Structure 1
Amino acid sequence: MKTISLSLMAAMALAAVTAVATAQQLPGTSIRNHDRNAPIDFEAARIEVRDRQNQAIVSGNVKIEQGSLDLAAERVRIFYAQAGGDVQVDRLDADGGVRVTTPAETARAATAIYDVPNSQITMIGNVVLTRGGDVLRGQRLIIDLGSGRSTFDAAVNSATGERGRVSGRFTPTANVP
C-alpha cells in the first residue's frame, strides 16, 4: 500500500463536501452560494489508499470542511482516476450517520453519494432536513449543486410497490410591522 500525502487526500476529498437545500427553491439558501472550488480541510482516524482499485477510504469520525459546509460521517470512500500524476475524483460514498451542515441547514441520512462530474449529491435512508423551524423527511434527497434544485422522494413499500409520502413542517415567520 502506498503512502498518500495529506494534500493529495485533500484534493481527492474536494468533492466530499456537500451542500444542502430544501425540497423547494428558497431565497437565500446557501446551496446557491456554495463555492465548490474552496479549499478542503478534513480529519479522520484513518486513511487507507487502495491504489490498484483507484480508491481511498477515510474512516473514523470523518470531518470534512469546505468554506461554510461541513460533512461528518463514519466513513468516506473516494473513487478516483489517475492521469499523468493528476487525480480526478469521480465519486464519494459516505456512510455511517452522515450529516451535512451549512450555516442555514442540516441534513442527516444513512448514506450519501456524491457524483462529482455531474455535481449531484444523493442522500439515502431516513433523510431529515432541518432549516430553522422547518423540517422535511423522506427516504431520498437529491441535490443538484449546479442548479441549486433539490428533490425529496418517499420510500416504496416493498410488499405493495406503493410509494409512501414525504412529510414536513414549514414554520411561517411572523410579519412584524
Structure 2
Amino acid sequence: MAMMPDGRADAQVLRGHDTTAPVDFSADRIEVQDRADRVVVTGNVQVTQAGLTLTAQRLTVAYHDNNGVEIDRLDASGGVVVTRGNERASGSVAIYDLNRKLITMIGNVQLNQGGNRLTGSRLVIDLNTGRSTVDGSATGAPGTSTSPGGRVSGTFKVRQQPGQ
C-alpha cells in the first residue's frame, strides 16, 4: 500500500480474482422482479465467487437474459464486507460491476491487507489489475459519511529485524 501526494492511497488487492466464475448467493429472502431484470436479496446476504465473499443486509442483482441469466451488477448495502484470504474491505454501500470488473465501496470505507489498514470515504478495486484506490472524500450515497477532514488514513506494518 502506498500514499499518493494527492491524498489517495493505492494498494494491490484481490489480484487474480476470476470475475467469470459462477456467483452463488444466499439470504433470508429472495424476490425475483423478472420484468425489471433484477433480483432483490435481503437479510444476512452472502455472495461467493471464486474465493471472494461479500456479505450485506441487502443486495440488488441486475441481470440480462441471453438464453440464460447473466449477471451485470451487484448493488449491496448495509454493513458491506468483501473478503478473500487475508484481504478485507468494508463500507456502507458497494457496487460490483461484473462487466467492468470494478468494485466500488462508499461510506466509512476500511481496507485491510494482512497487518496493513487504510480508511477513507471511497474505495475502488479494479479486478483487472488488482489495483485499489482509497479516497478521503467522496460524493457519497445517502446515509454515508466522509472520513474526518476528507483525508485517507492508514497503518502500515513494518518488517521486524531478527532479534527485535
TM range (shorter): 0.7 to 0.9
Q: Between Structure 1 and Structure 2, which shows a larger proportion of strand residues?
A: 2
In the alignment, which of 2, 15, 18 is matched to residue 32 of structure 1?
15
Contact 2:122 2:138 in 1 (8 A): no
**In 2 relative to 1, CA 133–91 (structure 1 residues): closer, same or farther, beyond 3 Å?**
same
In the alignment, which of 37, 42, 45 is matched to residue 54 of structure 1?
37
Cα deviation for residue 174 of structure 1 reads 0.9
Cα deviation for residue 156 of structure 1 reads 5.4
Write the letter of the residue equivalent to 1:144.
D
In the alignment, which of 85, 89, 100 is matched to residue 82 of structure 2?
100
Q: Does 1:82 align with 2:68?
A: no
Q: Between Structure 1 and Structure 2, which shows a larger proportion of helix residues?
A: 1
Q: Distance in 2 between matches of 1:38 and 1:154?
A: 32
Which sits farther off after the overlay, 64-73 or 90-99? 64-73
**In 2 relative to 1, CA 156–148 (structure 1 residues): closer, same or farther, beyond 3 Å?**
closer
Per the alignment, residue 43 of structure 1 pairs with 26
The alignment yields a C-alpha RMSD, in angstroms, of 2.2
Q: Distance in 2 between matches of 1:48 and 1:151?
A: 34
Per the alignment, residue 14 of structure 1 pairs with none
Aligned residue pairs total 148
Per the alignment, residue 131 of structure 1 pairs with 113
Give the gaps of 5 or more residues in structure 1. Answer: 1-20, 158-162
Structural mapping, 1:9-24, within 5 Å: 23-24=9-10
**In 2 relative to 1, CA 40–92 (structure 1 residues): closer, same or farther, beyond 3 Å?**
closer
For normalisation by structure 2, the TM-score amounts to 0.80
Give the gaps of 5 or more residues in structure 2. Answer: 3-8, 140-148
Per the alignment, residue 166 of structure 1 pairs with 152
Q: Distance in 1 between matches of 2:75 and 2:101?
A: 14
For normalisation by structure 1, the TM-score amounts to 0.75
